Structure 1
């Protein structure tokens, strides 16, 4: 799934004509189950490029409204590349594409005639000076190409696609991460109690709220791209509606917990003042929960259509406003501690309204089915993916938060060093996580398009990118080990601890990146259940016991705490790689078809 590219479109092409002719072969909407038995996978195939441009394949509408001009140009460019790679584009058209001479391509009205395919490498459809080809022959040749697996992708195309879609995600996730950091930076200058309270509130909110929203919403990483890849565009909007209402329903028990947070935290945290302030922060934060959950759902709605830059543009506006409001409310208006959660609430509401406005005025309602009672029906397939997705995310979030809790028993310096290491780990995680999100959307789209071989290629490219990112992160941390600690603290003891532990963190960067990207591939396949089981087992049956026994039993202290996490990430990487190598990708295609048909 790629973001936009500035390729010039100055005239019609023979490929456009071929796409138009093929699109006329089937009805505008997907056929019924009875009809689909006659056309096999043809009716389920849709061109797996990333933007809302007319897909190739029978049974699709002739044209669709482009999301943006930039996305339209990029989608057309990638479509041509895919056609060239599979020898479907006529040679003379392919040469013109490669040379960039689009104006020299055959006119859209030029007649097209199909020919027999003497070899597998011959073009599927070639223009001719003869008469117009018959619809049955065009249909049969397209069907043969899909059934014979001739609609493939390449390493080069997947590398370019995943790289382009990952780049804006990295920036978007950094901006999103800054939303929470703003509270800590702003409130930290009020006093130690306030700093401890906002840190405790943020940790509680992540475990009991935001982590739950993010985990459950990963179901859309499967459902929306697979629906988009299959050409059922209205189903993308319907699945998003279901998730929004589902998350709003989950907000009720989350709100109850946050309303009682001060009473709960006072039984856990020895400092009563910190617990009371943290509870107040969470009570105010409840007002922004519906907006945050809406943003997480609609963000995936946009990503499924290949609009990976959209969340970045939205956060590029909202993140600076969030920082400004923190300063304005806390210091300028003298609201003190209460100003921080109020700023977060307003930011969450802005994220939701900005995303909605972007969809309505910039993207269009091509994938929006309108409000329907169907949004409250057939939740079971969504929940079957959402619960394991929740386990995948929540298991890791809670495990790392527990490390911070355990480090507090080692002393103040160790707790401070652990906080800095946790922040560094969160920052380096944004890059592999961006590749993971890009891969899950790309692979899910290809699976929805009934192209398992192309999905395998994309998964292999994702694996290589994960290794490159992991090694790069490790090298950066090692080379900057004497510089990074001083960016966070001036305490000599804490700086020494951080510098000593950075090589340990660098050592597991590779496993962290690989495990993260494997989870993304699993989401694309709709195999969140496997990832959920593996994550829970690795962290709570292996990592936590190793961390506690080595940190306190062997007196390895922070080395021991991070040793357990390193072992867990290594196990997650190995187990999920083995599963992906042995899994039945065709079954994922059938599962996707079943979900889309019953959508």
Structure 2
């Protein structure tokens, strides 16, 4: 980056921050702004809704709610968030990976994220001794062995990891306050002072980070997401665990039914609902809180209407499934499972919309609390319907359907009695208008996700050609690998968040450090999963089934899945880094290339002509993940991070944010 660029940054108009979010915020306005520069489709949707609402007397009171936010969060309204926001295209509490499409806006920050940003800035300022720490921890500054261990292994302070300076001369990075170990507690500066000190430090390139700080940050970001994702997927695990005790045929049928339900309903529903990540967040950030509920209502009605033909397909799915898999009993049970799941369709749509409704307000814990109640209840329902009432296979489907309807009810109760109801203005006829632009915005997300997950359905159908035991084993393997994926995927989300914010703050060196830490963490997670899979290769399938034939198949194929864990984690995290630098399209195209032109051909070739059967299917997936992770890591290795930060700054000064993208050159 040239020397002139810092001067340009420093000389920007009042209050404009070096943040990816700042490109959507006029410099003269504080959060939440009354106007947000969005993409044309989003402007059209929100503009129509605002015009309709302002023309009706009953909505006039909601037209300018900015003052409410200012009174509720007086200490944070003057601070624009830089180091804490959530990337678009991620619905927390969902086990599916989405690929955000370029051109969609990043969500407007809410007061909770503004506070997180302030704390992140404060942490880095303290690490660089620009603002003194709360406590001195004088014992760590001694030359004793515990002190040296703490400094080099645990301390997040940057100067603890630098070579000592014995010149005695003051340098640019010299602490502004003396190192007085007698000070136990120092007051935290007010937000405006933190903001000013941060701007000065960034302009003079005084902010650095350490791998200890980035490790701590990634753990803080990803740990709650891992818990939430595992809770959400445990609903599926409970169903597979229960059905596995009924027999091999039932286990095969639940896999076929679940994958069919995912590819025809769950994945498209999630893909369409991703547009709410933008619409609800923009509505909330622009101060029109009642439009958050309106957007969620509109999407819910749309999804319910689309589910009518899907329900018709599920009800008459048995003839289709019999063509796809050879076992008639397996196809009949899978069709029965799908017919019962029709009852849970409304809950699936409502929960997807409800998650976006609360998350746009920064209430990410609402989904977690909902799952803390709903997930254990799903296990109880499986036991009650399957074994206590003796409904057997149909009981497992009933438990799943009941849980799907229970989760949105629990979320509604949370909003009603705890927080989030400020964005709900009741049911409205306006939810049945203005559907065209919303569908146009939602379709790309659905197509991208559907393209990715169609491969899994193809492989499931292929596994059914090898017999019931292989299809049942496929059910166990998919459940185990999907569970393990819920560790690196939240790590990828945390990485994309941190990298995007550091790049937007013109801290390219810090972003590069975060990327290195994330890649090492991905390898660590992958090796951990590999070890678990390899050492417990016969124990894990025994958790799901008592059938020895299925256990034998799983114990052989799981060794291939164990190797896959490393590439699975690397692919997830490398794609998260690409999202952070604004090149998510590279990852999307790499995924589609590896799925359809590498993984699928290799899987079918090794499974059928070479006779590897199920092991061949997973071998192809492993090679595909190795290719996509290699391509993405190679792209990142040859990327110019300084140029990415410069382009982020250029986008903030451009009125047309869609025409300027980060440029990467060979290092």
Q: TM (normalized to structure 2)?
A: 0.64
Q: Is it true that 1:263 corresponds to 2:316 in the alignment?
A: yes
Aligned to 1:252: 305
Q: Is it true that 1:96 corresponds to 2:96 in the alignment?
A: no
d(CA) in 2 for partners of 1:406, 1:443: 39
Work out whether residues 220 and 300 of structure 1, in 8 Å CA contact, stay in contact via their aligned partners in 2. Answer: yes
Aligned to 2:345: 289
Work out whether residues 255 and 474 of structure 2, in 8 Å CA contact, stay in contact via their aligned partners in 1. Answer: no
Q: Is it true that 1:479 corresponds to 2:479 in the alignment?
A: no
SS at structure 1 position matched to 2:608: helix
Offset, 1:570: 1.0
Equivalent position to 2:126, from 61, 80, 84: 84
Bigger fraction of residues in helix: 1
Say which is worse superposed, 464-473 or 525-534, in terms of deviation. 525-534
Alignment CA distance shift 1:234-1:594 (3 Å): farther
d(CA) in 2 for partners of 1:240, 1:33: 19
Aligned to 1:427: 483
Q: Is it true that 1:316 corresponds to 2:402 in the alignment?
A: no
d(CA) in 2 for partners of 1:32, 1:427: 42
Offset, 1:200: 2.8
Aligned to 2:264: 208
d(CA) in 1 for partners of 2:292, 2:634: 31
Work out whether residues 329 and 339 of structure 1, in 8 Å CA contact, stay in contact via their aligned partners in 2. Answer: yes
Work out whether residues 395 and 535 of structure 1, in 8 Å CA contact, stay in contact via their aligned partners in 2. Answer: no
Offset, 1:214: 3.5
d(CA) in 2 for partners of 1:158, 1:514: 18
Work out whether residues 231 and 372 of structure 2, in 8 Å CA contact, stay in contact via their aligned partners in 1. Answer: yes
**Count of residue correspondences:** 519
SS at structure 2 position matched to 1:554: coil
Equivalent position to 2:407, from 327, 330, 351: 351
Q: Is it true that 1:407 corresponds to 2:463 in the alignment?
A: yes
Q: How does 1:143-542 map to 2 (within 5 A)?
A: 143-147=199-203, 153-187=209-243, 196-217=252-273, 232=285, 242=295, 245-246=298-299, 248-270=301-323, 275=331, 278-299=334-355, 309-333=365-389, 337-359=393-415, 361-364=417-420, 368=423, 389-390=445-446, 393-443=449-499, 455-524=511-580, 527-542=583-598
Alignment CA distance shift 1:459-1:244 (3 Å): farther
Question: What is the RMSD computed on CA atoms of the aligned residues?
Answer: 4.9
Work out whether residues 478 and 502 of structure 1, in 8 Å CA contact, stay in contact via their aligned partners in 2. Answer: yes
Alignment CA distance shift 1:432-1:592 (3 Å): farther
Listed one character per residue, the Cα deviations across residues 407-428 of structure 1 (whole Å, up to 9, x for unaligned) are 2223344334333322321222
Q: Is it true that 1:121 corresponds to 2:173 in the alignment?
A: yes
d(CA) in 2 for partners of 1:353, 1:326: 19
d(CA) in 1 for partners of 2:172, 2:657: 32
Work out whether residues 537 and 558 of structure 2, in 8 Å CA contact, stay in contact via their aligned partners in 1. Answer: yes
Q: TM (normalized to structure 1)?
A: 0.70
SS at structure 1 position matched to 2:316: helix
Work out whether residues 31 and 80 of structure 2, in 8 Å CA contact, stay in contact via their aligned partners in 1. Answer: no
Listed one character per residue, the Cα deviations across residues 394-439 of structure 1 (whole Å, up to 9, x for unaligned) are 4443323332322222334433433332232122212112212333
Alignment CA distance shift 1:474-1:338 (3 Å): closer
Alignment CA distance shift 1:452-1:495 (3 Å): same
Equivalent position to 1:577, from 617, 620, 633: 633
Work out whether residues 548 and 561 of structure 1, in 8 Å CA contact, stay in contact via their aligned partners in 2. Answer: yes
Offset, 1:317: 0.9
Offset, 1:514: 0.9
Work out whether residues 49 and 79 of structure 1, in 8 Å CA contact, stay in contact via their aligned partners in 2. Answer: no
Work out whether residues 288 and 344 of structure 1, in 8 Å CA contact, stay in contact via their aligned partners in 2. Answer: yes
d(CA) in 2 for partners of 1:495, 1:190: 15
Say which is worse superposed, 519-528 or 138-147, in terms of deviation. 138-147
d(CA) in 2 for partners of 1:298, 1:448: 30
Unaligned runs of 5+ in 1: 1-24, 35-41, 52-63, 101-117, 127-134
Work out whether residues 49 and 78 of structure 1, in 8 Å CA contact, stay in contact via their aligned partners in 2. Answer: yes
d(CA) in 2 for partners of 1:523, 1:224: 21
Offset, 1:380: 6.3
Alignment CA distance shift 1:197-1:560 (3 Å): closer
Offset, 1:361: 4.6
Offset, 1:316: 1.7
Work out whether residues 31 and 78 of structure 2, in 8 Å CA contact, stay in contact via their aligned partners in 1. Answer: no
Say which is worse superposed, 487-496 or 308-317, in terms of deviation. 487-496
Work out whether residues 296 and 357 of structure 2, in 8 Å CA contact, stay in contact via their aligned partners in 1. Answer: no
Alignment CA distance shift 1:365-1:464 (3 Å): farther
Equivalent position to 1:48, from 80, 83, 97: 83
Listed one character per residue, the Cα deviations across residues 459-506 of structure 1 (whole Å, up to 9, x for unaligned) are 433222111111111122222234334444444444443333333222
Work out whether residues 496 and 579 of structure 2, in 8 Å CA contact, stay in contact via their aligned partners in 1. Answer: yes
